[in-house]
């Protein structure tokens, strides 16, 4: 699949992952890129760099609006489907999770099939595995999810398979592990643990660790995730779900120590009772993604966290001074 000269649609394109995919599409010469986003979590500033460097259009719309989707995907060569409700949002509003993550994904895939899109790359999640019965979890691990978010991602993958069988729609589903990096949301009620640490420390409060801190994450830097998406598109791989994983575990205690060291503070973490519904260990096997699309992570955790902190400081300072938000 050739990206240069192509027309591409990215759902959730003004969001965290979507905007980084668009940066790479611009760098690889896509001729026309459309970010389709309802702007609930998306930010126009996330697209500032891409708009300055390429033909990038932001179309405000929702994946539950089939007419708007059909219009925006008409004529597209490729689609990256990133729009979704996050894990905690899905737990709080399960009906909305089904409407957005399952019906919305059906709408995207249907529009791709009807408009002869050459290939779709679809965001899935390691949440489909639930608590791993063995580690690292590889793609052969059975679905063991018991949360609404994971349930929607299981359904999305099955919809991809059905559209491939019925309509011949080529796709790769990417099971993201713990994605982090610049442009992560740090302002809403639903933020990842890294941003929770930073926000609390910034207020002079100790970072909170739920449980004893032995829980683990498989941290994958956003630039690696964006690169995985483009590798999936360009590869001949199809009708497959792949981990986007580092294959390394980082405990919450280790993560807190990295953040505290990089911030230069001696404040001690505060321990709270853990939500037993959440998975205790995330640790994905990266071998199949390397074999099929040539993907391996490149950014070490400490380097990536340093990049997050640098961006977070700039973005927060710009917002506090009433200026434009950081382009990081």
Q: Which residue has the tokens 């590798």?
A: 231
Segment 208-260, tens digit of pLDDT: 998 999 999 999 999 999 999 999 999 999 999 999 999 999 999 999 999 99
Total Cβ atoms within 10 A of residue 273: 7
Total domain count, the chain? 1
Q: Is residue 304 part of a domain?
A: no
More confident residue, 236 or 187: 236
Q: Is residue 163 part of a domain?
A: yes
- Burial pattern 175-199, b for ≥16 Cβ within 10 A else e, equals bbbbbbbbbbbbeeeebbbbbebbb
Q: Is residue 272 part of a domain?
A: no
Domain that holds residue 143: 7-179+219-245+283-293
Residues 6+ apart with CB under 8 A from 274: 210, 211, 212, 215
Q: Is residue 262 part of a domain?
A: no
Query: Which residue pairs from 182-185 have beta carbons closer than 8 angstroms and sit at least 24 positions apart in sequence?
Result: 182/222, 182/307, 182/308, 182/311, 182/312, 182/328, 183/16, 183/19, 183/20, 183/43, 183/46, 183/222, 183/311, 183/328, 184/16, 184/222, 184/308, 185/16, 185/41
- pLDDT given at position 318: 87
- pLDDT given at position 320: 81
CA dist 302 → 116, 181, 211, 281, 309 (Å): 43, 11, 23, 20, 11
Q: Is residue 92 part of a domain?
A: yes
Strand partners, 171: 120
Segment 281-304, tens digit of pLDDT: 999 999 999 999 999 999 999 999
- pLDDT given at position 190: 58
Q: Is residue 145 part of a domain?
A: yes
Would you place residue 31 in the very low, low, confident or very high pLDDT band (cuts 50, 70, 90)?
very high
CATH number of the domain that 46 lies in? Answer: 3.40.50.720
- What does the alpha-carbon distance between residue 202 and residue 177 come to, in Å, rounded to a whole number? 27
Q: Is residue 139 part of a domain?
A: yes
Contact by Cβ (8 Å): 120, 108: yes
pTM of the model: 0.95
Segment 77-115, tens digit of pLDDT: 999 999 999 998 999 999 999 999 999 999 999 999 999
More confident residue, 53 or 277: 53
- pLDDT given at position 189: 61
Segment 38-81, tens digit of pLDDT: 999 999 999 999 999 999 999 999 999 999 999 999 999 999 99
Segment 127-172, tens digit of pLDDT: 999 999 999 999 999 999 999 999 999 999 999 999 999 999 999 9
Segment 303-324, tens digit of pLDDT: 999 999 999 999 988 888 775 4
Segment 115-128, tens digit of pLDDT: 999 999 999 999 99
Average pLDDT over residues 257-276: 91
Strand partners, 271: 209
Q: Is residue 326 part of a domain?
A: no
- What does the alpha-carbon distance between residue 277 and residue 90 come to, in Å, rounded to a whole number? 13
- pLDDT given at position 323: 54
Quick check: 185 pLDDT over 90? no
Positions marked catalytic: 149
Quick check: 326 pLDDT over 50? no
């Amino acid at each position: 699949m050739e990206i240069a000269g192509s027309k591409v649609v990215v759902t959730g394109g003004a969001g965290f992952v979507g905007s980084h995919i668009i940066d790479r599409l611009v760098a690889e010469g896509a001729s026309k890129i459309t970010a389709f986003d309802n702007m609930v979590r998306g930010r126009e500033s996330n697209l500032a760099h891409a708009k300055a460097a390429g033909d990038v259009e932001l179309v405000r719309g929702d994946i539950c609006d089939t007419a708007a989707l059909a219009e925006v995907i008409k004529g597209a060569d490729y689609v990256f489907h990133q729009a979704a409700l996050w894990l905690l949002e899905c737990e709080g509003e399960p009906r909305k999770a089904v409407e957005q993550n399952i019906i919305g994904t059906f709408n995207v895939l249907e529009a791709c099939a009807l408009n002869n899109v050459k290939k779709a790359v679809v965001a899935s999640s390691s949440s489909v595995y639930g608590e791993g019965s063995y580690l690292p979890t590889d793609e052969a691990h059975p679905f063991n999810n018991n949360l609404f978010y994971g349930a929607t991602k299981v359904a999305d993958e099955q919809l991809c398979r059905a559209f491939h069988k019925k309509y011949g729609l080529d796709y790769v589903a990417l099971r993201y592990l713990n994605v982090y990096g610049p442009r992560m949301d740090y302002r809403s009620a639903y933020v990842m643990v890294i941003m929770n640490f930073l926000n609390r420390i910034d207020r002079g409060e100790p970072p909170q660790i739920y449980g004893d801190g032995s829980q683990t994450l498989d941290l994958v830097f956003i630039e690696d995730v964006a690169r995985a998406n483009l590798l999936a598109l360009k590869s001949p791989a199809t009708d497959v779900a792949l981990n986007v994983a580092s294959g390394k575990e980082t405990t919450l205690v280790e993560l807190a120590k990295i953040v505290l060291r990089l911030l230069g503070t001696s404040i001690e973490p505060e321990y709270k009772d853990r939500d037993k519904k959440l998975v205790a260990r995330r640790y994905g096997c990266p071998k199949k993604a390397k074999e099929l699309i040539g993907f391996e992570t490149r950014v070490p955790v400490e380097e990536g966290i340093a990049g997050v902190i640098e961006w977070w400081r700039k973005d927060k300072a710009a917002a506090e001074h009433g200026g434009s938000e950081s382009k990081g």
